[in-house]
Amino acid sequence: MIAVRPLHRRSATLLLTIFSLLVVPSAFAAGKPGRGAPIDPATNCTQWPTEKTVIALDPGHGGDDSGTGYSYPDGTRVLEKDVVLNIAKLVRDTLVGHGYAVCLTRIDDKTLGNSERGEFANTVGARLFVMIHLNGSTDPAVNHTITFWGKKSKDLAFSRYMLTKLKDLTTQEGDYVGQFANGALLTATMESTLTESAFLTNQDEAPLLKEVDSERRHVIARAIANGIHSYLNP
């Protein structure tokens, strides 16, 4: 999660999103080096080395940074870090079918530094870098789509394009493209965006996202993958 806009709903959503990234006690929010061994392209990429066009995907959060979450009456708690990892792997599978090599910043529940994610995208020579998140709010009725850019000159056009491909995932008003000085977006040298496809905390959305490989997760993954593919093949 990274967004919240009003105080006016839009402003509240932007503040909540940014607050969620800044206050978590992990290396991700602080932008400090991650923990453990460096990210290994040999294990995190579908092909390495490769002559194919490389797409880098960053499943948000991970490890001791769980992101947002939703608690069900039966005591089950679904965490953003787990849902977006599943979605990222589904995006990867679709993109591989389109002929791309795909590299994930994490393939398991690993804590990563913020800038480390962008550095990995640089290391693998990615053509595009997409950070995959889900949003959260204290209002269970809120549900819309947001994309973020880090550097206007390289990211804004791609972020705007991705919003056009993701906005139909939700029906509420409030979709927008915003700026976020995120360490990964700023570190990555290629066109990049951070996607908040929907709100995991939404009362109607949450049940659809509960199960691994649920149809809703597949729908979101296909929208992200098709947005990437169509951007590169206008």
Give whole-number Cα distances, 183 to 112, 120, 151, 200, in Å.
12, 12, 11, 23
Amino acid 211: pLDDT: 95
Tell me the pTM: 0.88
CA distance 186 to 162: 18
Round to whole Å and give the CA distance between 95 and 90.
9
How many other β-carbons are positioned within 10 Å of the β-carbon of residue 159?
Answer: 25
What per-residue confidence (pLDDT) applies to 70? 95
Q: Tell me the domain boundaries of the chain.
A: 9-232
- What's residue 7's pLDDT? 34
Phi–psi pair at 116, nearest 5 degrees: -55, -35
Which residues sit opposite 196 in a β-bridge?
133, 146
**CATH number 3.40.630.40 given to 9-232:** yes
Q: Record the tokens describing residue 61, joined without a space.
A: 């959060």
Contact 193, 130 (CB under 8 A): yes
Nearest to 133 by CA among 62, 66, 84: 84
| Per-residue pLDDT tens digits of the chain, which is 234 residues long | 765 443 334 444 454 454 444 433 333 333 344 456 789 999 999 999 999 999 999 999 999 999 999 998 889 999 999 999 999 999 999 999 999 999 999 999 999 999 999 999 999 999 999 999 999 999 999 999 999 999 999 999 999 999 999 999 999 999 999 999 999 999 999 999 999 999 999 999 999 999 999 999 999 999 999 999 999 999
